[in-house]
Structure 1
Amino acid sequence: MADPHPSPLPGGMMNTVVRRGDRVLRTAPATAAALHPHLRALPAAGFDGAPRPLALNPDGREELGFVEGEVALPPFPDWIAADTALASAARLLRRYHDAAARIPVDTTAPWPADLADPRGGTLLCHNDPCAENLVFRHGSAAALIDFDLAAPGRPLWDVAALAYYLGPTLPPEAAAGKVWEDLDTARRLRLIADTYGLTGPDRALLPQTVEEYLAVARRFVAGRVAAGEAAFVRAHTASGGWARWDRRRDWLADQRPRLVRALTTD
C-alpha cells in the first residue's frame, strides 16, 4: 500500500468513499457477506471489470481494490455522450451479465429492493449502471463499481437502467444545455440493444421497462427525500422537484411507440 493517508473520492450520494493507496474504504452494504463472494467469483467466470473485495472491517467498512480509470461526474464531460462510450458500456454490461449468470445467487441474502426489478429474476443485477458507476479508460467502459444496490432481477432490467441513464431518456427541454442535448434517444436505444445483443422480445419491451425503472427510481428518491437525506433533498430541489419526474414520465409514455419501432424495425 503505497500511500497510508486516505483521500476522499468525489461522487456518490449514499456513501463516503476514501482511497488509501491501492485500496478504497467505504461503508459496507448490508449484503456484503453475500456480495463479496459474488464479486470474487467474477474473474473466474470471465469478468474482470468489478472491484475486488479485500476485507470487511469491524468498524463496518469494507476494503476494495481501487479501480484505475476515469469516472464521469456531473456536470458531465462531453465524452460521456459519445456513441463509442455508450456502446462500450453496453458491451461491459453484457460481459458482466454473462459472467454473473454462471454464479449462483445467494437467495438468503437481504438484497435491497431500492432499485430492484419488481418482476424479480435469477441474475444478480447491478441496478444502478449510471455514468458515476462506470469506470472508463481511453473513452471505453472498463469497469462497473458500487454494487450496493445489486439484487436479483432480469438482465433486461439492467439494460433498461443503462438506457435510462445514458440514453438519455430525457425530454428535449430537460436535455437542453447539457451534454445530452440534441441526441436521438431512439437511435441510441437501438445502439444499446444492438451492442448488448438484446433479443427480439426484450427489444420490444425495453421502452416499457425504462418507464418501469423510472417509477422505481422515483420511489427510491421519494423515500430518501422523505427521510431528509441531505444529498437527495438538495439534488431533488435543484433539479425541479416532482414536476421534472412527471414530465419525463409523460414524455417516455408518448415516445414509446417510436422507440419500439426503432428497436424492432430492420
Structure 2
Amino acid sequence: MTIVVLGATGHLGRHVLAGLKRRGVPAADITAAGRDLSKLGDQNVRAVRVDYADAATVRAALRGADRALLISGGDFGRRVAQHAAVIDAAGAAGVALLAYTSTPHAAGSGMAMAREHAATESHLRDSGVPFTVLRNSMYLDILTGQVAPRAAARGVVEGASGKGRISPASRAELGDAAAEVLVGAGHAGAVYELGGARSYTMDDVASAIARWSGRHVEYRDVPAGDYRAMLVKQGMPEKVAEIFADTQLGIARDEFYVSSGDLTRLIGRPSRTLEEALSRTATSGSSG
C-alpha cells in the first residue's frame, strides 16, 4: 500500500509521517509531498515537491498512490480551488482513500475560514473519491509554544472569544489519528470531529498558564475589532488579522468545542491535557 502525504513539510505532516512509520508502513511506500522539502530533514521516505497551486505537481505526486492525505493549505482565499484540484487529481489517479484535514463543525460553522473547508468537503463528497474528513480542533502546541510564553511574560491573554470553549489537541495526536485512518479499515465516508478530551475557556487557559509559570496571568476579553487592530499593530497583514478576529468569534460560539470522543478512539489513548502539555514545556517558552 503506497501512501502520499500532501503537506508533509509542515508541523502536522511530519507527525503523520512518524505515525505511519510506527504502524509499520515501509518508508519506501510513503511519499512526503510539500513545497519546501528541506523541512523534512532525514525522514528516509520518498520526497516530492508539490505546490497546491500547480496542478501538474499534484498529479505527479499522486500517480500510483493507494491512499493519500490532503493537509489543508494556508493560502486563504485560494484554498477551495487548490483543494478541488487535488481532489480531482486523486480521482484521476484512482486513489482508494483520500483523507482531508478540515475544521470542527465545518458544515455549520459561521467562520469565514470554515466556509473554505465546507466548500472543500462538499467537493470531496461530490467527487466520487472515497474520503475521510478529519475535522481538527485547535492545536495544543499553539497554546504551549506561543500563547503561554507570551502570556507569562505579559501577564495577560487577550482575545475576543468570551466564554467560548476550545478542545485543543496536539499535532502529534492529530497526526497519529490521520496515520490510523490512512492505514486502517472502515474509515471511508467518515467525518471525524477531532478534539482533546478536556475543554477550556480562555479564562481556564489563563489560569493554567498562571499555575505553570508561577505568575499572575488573566484573560482580557476585547471587542473583535479591537483584537483585529491589535494584531495589525503587531505586524500581521490585515486580511489575516481579519480571519483571526473572526476565528475568535467562532470560539465564542463554541465552534472549537468538540465532545465526540473520536480522537481518543482513533489513537487508542486519552489525549494530553493543557496542564500535562505545559508541564513538559520549559518556562523559558520552548514548546513541548
- TM-score, normalised with respect to structure 2: 0.31
TM-score with structure 1 setting the length: 0.33
Greater relative contact order (Cα < 8 A, sep 6+): 2
Q: Quick check: which has more Rg, 1 or 2? A: 2
